[in-house]
Amino acid sequence: MKRHTRRLETAAVHGAADLEKKNGPVGTPIYQTSTFEVTDNDEQQRVTTTDRYYTRWGNPTNTVAEQAVAALEGVESARTFASGMGAITTTILALLKTGDHIVAQRDIYGGVTKFFSQWLPRLGIETTFVDTNDYEQYARAIRPNTRLLYLESPTNPALRVVDLKKAAALARQHKLISMIDSTFGTPINQHPAEYGIDLVMHSGTKYLSGHADLTCGVVAGRHELMEPIHETRTTLGNCMDPHASWLLIRGLKTLAVRVARQNENALRVAEFLEQHAKVRRVHYPFLKSHPQHAIARQQMSGGGGMVTFEVEGTGEDARRVSEAMRLFTLATSLGGVESLVSIPVLTSHAMISAEQREKMGVTEQMVRLSVGIESCDDLIEDLERALQAVGARATVQVG
């Protein structure tokens, strides 16, 4: 019998054998630790600039996720955050100060509209919202104190497409930082940095992770811009947990195949809806009827997994359709392998005023679909059946 060399309390903590250093793991290990041991205080000073100091600064599992996104976007660096909103708010707080001004396209995620119109004014930062596809309006809105051009493409939920080349050129001409929320675009379908956009942001909660099992955000760009963003993240404490990073890494491995399938399914779903009598309008970038179809085909390799349609009826009809679906799950969020349905005025754009929604063209009749990787025939059958709810009388349960 092996003699105890340490007391039981110590053996319980330190007793397990170290894993072999050779035969490295194929899967990325989760560094589920808040801190890292150093041999002396000189080393303690040196590690502060690495991912082995303290997890609020950085963590090796987070680094793997960050490097993967930087590689996908074709940029020097990326940083992860606790959520997509965390990525946006931290970036803006890092790069702007009191007295600065933002030009932002009007239709963007409602949470960002709220941050720009209700929070930033408290810090003395103003935003001018411009019509998403009117680039002359963008130019007219630029002032001497404008610092940031904020974009989103395709937009949530109306799926408008921004001309990335035009927007990036405008930002360069006026020495503005350009930033895009590319969540709906995914790093598979579009690469905004190739057009000269400075910062590419994703709600990693969506396509990057792809399984509706974590909340995270990512911003990617040049070192020079990413450094203050990292420093601000460290100060605000808005970092991602290593376990969530590991889930993100796992999700990223199948991003390309998931998105390819979602592109295919969503295009078929959009074409089906477009010919349906109970559908007034379908918003999907790769439909010929889409107002920015030509730009979408130029700058995107796939139309994406999001399809928004407006029912030929009322807001009540839209709600009934969304509740009649069986395969599309009624839930907010998007980008996962499973198909979801939501009503934008009640979810992604519920936090802003009806007036703001109207200006963005977000209507009560809108139904937003996040198309998953299921059999497309099953998805279409589900939609066909659910659309019968348009115009149907609401049933009154008695007794």
What are the catalytic residues?
A: 56, 109, 181, 206
Residue 55: φ, ψ to 5°: -65, -25
Q: Which is nearer to ligand PLP, 90 or 263 (CB)?
A: 90
Non-local CB neighbours of 6 within 8 Å, separated by 6+ positions: 14, 15
Which positions lie near ligand PLP, rule CB under 6 A? 83-85, 109, 111, 156, 181, 183-184, 203, 205, 215, 217, 348
Residue pair 256/369 in contact by the 8 Å Cβ criterion: no
Residue 15: φ, ψ to 5°: -75, -25
Q: Which is nearer to ligand PLP, 61 or 156 (CB)?
A: 156
- Rounded to the nearest angstrom, the gap between the alpha carbon of residue 78 and the centroid of all alpha carbons in its chain is 14
Residue pair 351/111 in contact by the 8 Å Cβ criterion: yes
Residue 126: CB minimum distance to ligand PLP, A: 21
| Cα separation, 389 vs 124, whole angstroms | 48
Residues found in the chain: 399
Any idea what DSSP says for residue 119? I
257: left (phi > 0), else alpha (psi -120 to 50), else beta?
Answer: alpha
Residue nearest to ligand PLP (CB): 84
Any idea what DSSP says for residue 153? S
Residue pair 45/177 in contact by the 8 Å Cβ criterion: no
Any idea what DSSP says for residue 118? I
Q: Kindly state the tokens that stand for 47.
A: 């590690």
| Cα separation, 88 vs 181, whole angstroms | 9
Q: Which is nearer to ligand PLP, 72 or 244 (CB)?
A: 244
Residue pair 389/321 in contact by the 8 Å Cβ criterion: yes
Residue 112: CB minimum distance to ligand PLP, A: 7
Q: Which is nearer to ligand PLP, 61 or 205 (CB)?
A: 205
Nearest to 76 by CA among 260, 302, 264, 227: 227
